[in-house]
Amino acid sequence: MPAMEFAGDVSWGYNSAHIFAIESAYGGPTAFKDFVRAAHAAGFAVLLDVVYNHFGPSDLNLWRFDGWGEGERGGVYFYQDHRAATPWGETRPDYGRQEVRQFIRDNALYWLEDFRVDGLRFDMTLYIRTISGDEGSEGDQLPDGWSLMAWLNDEIADRFPGRITIAEDLRQVDAVTATTGEGGAGFGAQWGAAFVHPVREALIAAEDDDRSIASLVDALTR
């Protein structure tokens, strides 16, 4: 799950406010590096969750970073129109602004290079490639978000061969894991709703009678 600095000391981490900082309640960067080294020594790979579909929404030093914003919007790091809106607040980064793209790109590479994690799991990529999740609507598309993901995956594949990127997209769209040369986003794998939900239900059920083994088999063999 995301380990970046968030508001308060207790959170799932999906409200990351400072994406280059390890949450202080977790021990900061040195403790995280020690954790990764210990995991590798024990034979475990470390995959880190990253959140680029929104920032915050609270405790954001990036909010009106240079003192400017349109209306109640967040300024140069964020969209200044309806594209700012996400299910988690109106703090979607402006994927069309080169400086913002570079900021996110540098962050992704930072975890792979400085912390030696083995891969990145991108939180809810549907809201990077669309505004509101309506992928059937041409007006809901975010081409800049799609091109950002493709750029990141090309950079990672080139600089860190053998590392993996995983998209939590949940829509079973083949293009998410197609190569960028084929017009895809270039992810190595993607989460599918047809897998995660039946497996979760089987794991959390307290009684065997409440589990559907047929659904679990279908999820594992689909």
Among residues 168, 201, 208, 210, the one annotated as catalytic is 168
Q: How far apart are the first and last CA of the chain?
A: 26
Q: Contact, 15 vs 56, CB < 8 A? A: yes
- In the residue annotation, 123 being an active-site residue is answered as yes
Phi, psi dihedrals of residue 165, rounded to the nearest 5°: -120, 135
- In the residue annotation, 72 being an active-site residue is answered as no
Would you tell me how many other CB atoms lie within 10 Å of the CB of residue 70? 12
The two tokens of residue 139 are 């007006």
Residue with token string 């939900």: 197
The two tokens of residue 45 are 């790979």
- Smallest CA-to-CA distance from 108 within 45, 19, 17, 184 is with 19
Among residues 123, 154, 182, 207, the one annotated as catalytic is 123
Bridge partners for 111 per DSSP: none
Q: Contact, 49 vs 123, CB < 8 A? A: yes
198: left (phi over 0), alpha (psi -120 to 50) or beta: alpha
Any idea which residues carry the catalytic annotation? 123, 168
